[in-house]
Amino acid sequence: MENYAIIEQTKIINTAVADADFAKTEGWILLPDGFGIGDFYIDGQFVKAPQPQPTPEEIQSQNKQEAQLLLQQTDWTCTVDITNPQYSNPYLANQDEFLSYRSQVRQVAVNPPIELVTFPPQPDEVWASV
């Protein structure tokens, strides 16, 4: 039993699991991995359907969501006690790097652009002890 493409004109309109003999009687074509409904079979070759491009609003929303997630993941670096060896030992020795990083990310969260953003790399944690 294998996966077969049910093709109408050049478009895969459905898929089915069948044995080779039955699929041959139905005119179904053996379906390679990675292809499915909506793709095409043209001149004996499977072709992926073109993917719709996201709208500027969708890109803007994606940028904002990613920025908000990155800020949430580094919220802990902004607590007052994390950099004070009197309250936290070990303490975060490079909070300034995180503050700079978060400032760049926050710019995207507040004013998300309509082009995909490449976010700066998150700093590595540097811990020090007294």
Residue 89, token pair as written in the block: 């030992």
The residue assigned the tokens 């890109």 is 59
SS3 content of the chain, % helix, strand, coil (to 5): 40, 20, 40
Q: Is the pLDDT of residue 80 over 90?
A: no
Q: Is the pLDDT of residue 130 over 90?
A: no
pLDDT in tens, 38-61: 999 999 999 999 989 999 999 999
For the chain, which residues make up each domain, given as ranges? 2-47, 56-128
Percentage of the residues of the chain whose pLDDT score is greater than 90: 93
State residue 68's pLDDT score.
98
Helix (H) or strand (E) holding 100: helix 95-110
Residue 60, token pair as written in the block: 């803007």
Backbone angles phi, psi at 67, to 5 degrees: -65, -45
Averaged pLDDT, 95-114: 97
Averaged pLDDT, 19-24: 95
Q: CB within 8 A of 64, min separation 6: which ones?
A: 108, 109, 112
Q: CB within 8 A of 90, min separation 6: which ones?
A: 127, 128, 129
Beta strands per DSSP E along the chain: 2-8, 11-18, 29-30, 40-42, 45-47, 91-92, 127-128
pLDDT band at 29 (very low <50, low <70, confident <90, very high): very high
- Do residues 59 and 114 touch, judged by C-beta distance below 8 A? yes
**Average pLDDT value over all residues in the chain:** 96
Averaged pLDDT, 102-110: 98
Percentage of the residues of the chain whose pLDDT score is greater than 70: 100
